[in-house]
Chain A
């Protein structure tokens, strides 16, 4: 058997309401969506995946080193070509020998990753981590974009545990044109042939559910939700009630989560304590995956899906980069990709060094000891990601290095601080500079407690650099 042993879910802090769209456009094209989550300028599928994955690992109390299979799913991975699982694995401190697989090209990718994880567990793997993160995007005047939300979910899956996957089946039938994005295009679109689209949706969902060995009778149904109406139209095909769908629905508050739609709904259903959940994804093309989860006892879950920071439509266009120009041209103070790569243990996992001569910490651990000046060896040591602000400023428009001009155009002023980061035992600290994230800049003051997370730092020569930033401590 295979079972989920830990659940994590995450949505960015920003929300925009359907009213904001109506005010801007005179109408709102995403039926059933009240508000939706909007990623910050420094977030993408990889960072959202990291947010969910750290929570899942923490909930499952799983040592990252135990993960031997990692699947990452998104209809919008950060790059069309380049495997993000190596970076995600390094951010999460997984073993270099863990299997990494990417699933994309469809909103069904999240459940495809789950499928592959289950297959791996039925073969040689013992501990799988399935991560789905997405933030769909369409043309601003298209319903696809009106619905497009942002979120992620992650599951630690093992051979035994409190949430068993008892049954699964899949179905596909050719339905081109319902939702697609050609190579080189940035916006997802569909032809909008209403009845044809609905037929593609219902036929694949019905086909997958019929393939299950036992007719499901779930307490909650996590159905693919491109908008707030379509999943309910498929209730009959899935053999569930609209109440079952409502129980696990996240689309009304978070919008269309693409490949993370069913995973986030499943995560909330498990976190809410439902004992039987039917999951059915749908991806254009078209195909569907259906699976049944039965729980016994609590399923460890850690979710962070609330968001209270409301955007106006103009702010929404800025955050998403629709009305901003790209980075300024120029050069100078250049950090090459190879030198960035060498610093990844620090950027991803806060690896400091303890001076073998005096015992003081250095960050980054290179060159002479900051304390005693000795050119001694450093014993590597990972900091906790908690600490205190020592010095801080708010960088206003015009005050940012040009690497951050585009981010600032999207997201506005930001905090830049020096923080004293702590060791596990809490008896030593070492200082590091870090940018503020996840809160307004005035939420950072000298003496405040902070925690680290991983975000996009900047993109140069087309290569996005990720590293730690700080946010106000959650405790």
Chain B
């Protein structure tokens, strides 16, 4: 199979934008992505588009994929919308890689978008739980904050994970997000702030939860046959892995891990021929603080039960052994559901092209992105690698 390469990626700011539409945000991301391509890339080069989206403003849109691609002049290009909840555009990237590897396309746009801020907070809430198990889990009174809080309750009980360790995730990600001009909550927070915020679903407080966001992100995936047209410093999609699981937490084998993430991670590492130790940075799905800690364990950054110690050690901070969520993560950068997975790829691209500004990881070769749908009904992991450094 042919290799696939990441030759460009860009995003809009994440936040709340009453004067923007889902199409204008998507255009911003599309322009940023094409502009980021070293040797330039034109709209007419694009063979295929895969777009992640859950629902604009909670309203169901049919053909929301073509609705944004036509807006950027891609009418005529085969476009598919992918819906895997919060992992929608992570899976869009994966589908782009598949299209390239299969030989059916040479240049594929993988993107995502979401508008979450143009409704009343009541109406937003109706929508937020829609990617959980509806009939039983939601009707026991939980949205995702509640389900992740349940996971946290068991992790704390079994492994002695503490509230302070959860708060350290917020402190770290806000410190990173403060260095990211695209971040929605681009400010630092103290450990005290992150421990004294109002409780949402015990043990999770407001600082343990990501915001709702508007935003869009795009990545450009091309085949080995054309990669040289676009860049002299190719970044290979070295590993792709994905998994699924029961949508409801209560039907899973474990409450202290996300099996879909474990499956996705194992596959991606195997395909890339690397181990967690080989990574220079990672963007993981920290919709809630406990989710980042679970990701540490599910992706093999530490042993099961030791995520609390890992965050406390500082090794996942900028400058640590394995910086995690240098972008600020979902917590600080924001979480426009359908855009989140592609947005993680944007950060990987910026890091690997050394365009990450103040939050640049020193001379990185390899980075991972990890995108989860719902509370773990779907997960997708990518490993990106600077090719020349590997072969050199």
Using a CB–CB cutoff of 8 Å, the interface residues on chain A facing chain B are 328-335, 339-340, 343, 364, 370, 390-396, 398-405, 414, 416-418, 431-435, 441, 446-447, 457-458, 465, 467
- B252 → chain A closest CB, angstroms: 8
Interface-located stretch among B74-82, B108-116, B121-129, B160-168: B121-129
Contacts of A340 in B (CB 8 A): 135
Q: Which of A402, A416, A447, A457 contacts B146, CB < 8 Å?
A: A416
CB distance from A350 to the nearest CB of B (A): 12
Q: Which residues of B contact A432 (CB under 8 A)?
A: 136, 250
- Considering the complex, give the chain B residue whose CB is closest to the CB of A331: B126
Tell me if B198 counts as interface (CB < 8 A to partner A).
yes
Give the size range of B's interface with the partner: 35 or more
Which of B149-157, B356-364, B384-392 faces chain A? B149-157
Q: Once the chains are docked, how many angstroms separate the CA of A457 from the CA of B135?
A: 11
Q: A370-B246, A398-B200 are contacts. A335–B134 as well, Cβ < 8 Å? A: yes
Beyond known contacts A330-B120, A395-B141: 11 more, CB 8 A cutoff: A330-B119, A364-B136, A370-B251, A393-B146, A393-B149, A398-B200, A401-B129, A405-B125, A416-B140, A416-B146, A446-B154
What CA separation (Å) do A396 and B199 show in the bound complex? 6
- Nearest CB of chain B from residue A346's CB, rounded to whole Å: 8
Min C-beta distance of A430 to chain B, whole Å: 9
Please, which residues of chain A bring their CB within 8 A of the CB of B120? Answer: 328-330
Given A416-B141, A446-B154, decide whether A402 and B125 contact each other with a Cβ distance below 8 A: yes
Question: How far, in whole Å, are A150 and B186 apart by their CA atoms in the complex?
Answer: 53
- Report the separation of the CA atoms of residues A402 and B121 in the bound assembly, to the nearest whole angstrom: 10
Cβ distance A397 to chain B, nearest Cβ, rounded Å: 9
Which of B126, B139, B140 contacts A335 (CB under 8 A)?
B139
Please give, as numbers and ranges, the residues of chain B lying within 8 Å of A457 by CB-CB distance: 139
Q: How far is the CB of B144 from chain A (nearest CB, A)?
A: 10
Alpha-carbon separation in the docked complex, A29 to B324 (Å): 65
Nearest A-chain residue to B143, judged by Cβ: A401
Please provide the chain B residues from 315 to 338 with a CB less than 8 Å away from any CB of chain A in the complex. none
Partner of B202, one of A339, A394, A403: A394
Residues of B within 8 A of A370 (CB): 246, 251
Residues of chain B having any CB pair with chain A under 8 Å: 58, 119-120, 122-123, 125-127, 129-130, 132, 134-143, 145-146, 149-154, 157, 198-204, 246, 248-251, 255
> In the complex, A391→B254 CA distance in Å?
11
Task: Find out whether the CB atom of A390 lies under 8 angstroms from the CB atom of B154.
Answer: yes
Q: Among the listed B127, B141, B157, B248, which residue makes an inter-chain contact with A400, where contact means beta carbons less than 8 Å apart? A: B141
Q: Is the CB of B135 within 8 A of A400?
A: no
A403 touches B154 (CB 8 A): no
Contact A391 B151 (CB under 8 A): yes
Contact between B250 and A418 (Cβ–Cβ < 8 Å)? yes
Complex contact A404–B141 (CB within 8 A): yes
For B123, what are the chain A residues with a Cβ–Cβ distance below 8 Å?
328-331
Which single residue of chain A is at the shortest CB-CB distance from B133? A433
Report 27 cross-chain contacts, Cβ distance below 8 Å, ordered by A residue.
A330-B58, A330-B120, A332-B130, A333-B130, A335-B139, A340-B135, A370-B251, A391-B249, A393-B146, A393-B149, A393-B204, A394-B201, A395-B142, A395-B201, A396-B202, A399-B143, A399-B145, A403-B139, A404-B141, A416-B142, A416-B201, A417-B140, A418-B250, A434-B140, A435-B140, A441-B202, A457-B139
Partner of B135, one of A329, A343, A396: A343
| Chain B neighbourhood of A400, CB < 8 A | 141, 143
B122 touches A330 (CB 8 A): yes
> How many angstroms from the CA of A334 to the CA of B120 in the assembled complex?
18
Known: A370-B251, A404-B141. Is A393-B201 also a contact (CB below 8 A)?
Answer: yes
Residues of the B chain whose Cβ atoms lie less than 8 Å from the Cβ of A433: 136-137, 140, 142, 248-250
List, in ascending order, chain B residues with CB within 8 A of A335's CB: 134-135, 139
A334 to B250: give the CA distance in the assembly, Å: 20
Residues from chain B with Cβ under 8 Å of A414 in the complex: 141
Closest beta carbon of chain B to A164's beta carbon, Å: 45
Chain B residue nearest to A362 in the complex (CB)? B251
A392 to B156 CA separation, bound complex (whole angstroms) = 11
A218 to B336, CA, bound (A): 73
> Which residues of the other chain, A, contact B153 by a CB distance below 8 angstroms?
391-393, 446
B125 near A401 (CB under 8 angstroms)? yes
Q: Which residues of A contact B200 (CB under 8 A)?
A: 396, 398-399
What B residues does A404 contact at CB under 8 A?
A: 141
Question: Given A333-B126, A434-B140, A457-B139, are A416 and B145 neighbors across the interface (CB < 8 Å)?
Answer: no
CB distance from B290 to the nearest CB of A (A): 11
Residue among A405, A418, A446 having the largest count of chain B Cβ atoms under 10 Å: A418
CA distance A330 to B248 in the complex (A): 23
Listed residue (B119, B122, B132) with the most chain A CB atoms within 10 angstroms of its CB: B122
CB distance from A151 to the nearest CB of B (A): 26
Question: Top 4 A-B pairs ranked by shortest CB distance?
Answer: A328-B122, A393-B149, A330-B126, A433-B140
Q: How far is it, in angstroms, between the C-alpha of A323 and the C-alpha of B142 when the chains are bound?
A: 24
CB distance from A206 to the nearest CB of B (A): 51
A418 to B253, CA, bound (A): 13
Bound-state Cα–Cα, A404 to B122, Å: 11
Nearest Cβ on chain B to A205's Cβ, whole angstroms: 46
**B145: A residues at CB distance < 8 A:** 395, 399
Nearest A-chain residue to B58, judged by Cβ: A332
Residue from A392, A398, A405 in contact with B150 in the complex, judged by beta carbons closer than 8 Å: A392
Q: B248 to nearest A CB, angstroms?
A: 7
Task: Tell me the smallest distance from the CB of A412 to a CB of chain B, in Å.
Answer: 12
Which residues of the other chain, A, contact B204 by a CB distance below 8 angstroms?
Answer: 393
Residues of A contacting B249 in the complex (Cβ-Cβ under 8 angstroms): 391, 418, 433
Q: Taking each of B130, B199, B250, which has the highest tally of chain A beta carbons within 10 Å of its own beta carbon? A: B250
Whole-angstrom distance between the alpha carbons of A343 and B133 in the complex? 14
Asked if B157 contacts A431 (CB within 8 A), the reply is no
B154 to chain A: closest residue by CB: A391
Give Cα A332–Cα B142 distance, bound, in whole angstroms. 14
Question: Which of A394, A434, A458 has the largest number of chain B CB atoms within 10 A?
Answer: A394
Bound complex: CA A216 to CA B75 (Å): 91
Rounded to whole angstroms, the CA-CA distance of A417 and B246 in the bound complex is 17
CA of A457 to CA of B138, assembled, Å: 11
Closest to A436 in B: B141
User: A395 — which chain B residues lie within 8 A by C-beta?
Assistant: 141-142, 145-146, 201
- Distance (Å) between the CB of B287 and the closest chain A CB? 14
Once the chains bind, are A446 and B157 in contact (CB under 8 Å)? yes
A328 / chain B contacts, CB cutoff of 8 Å: 120, 122-123, 125-126
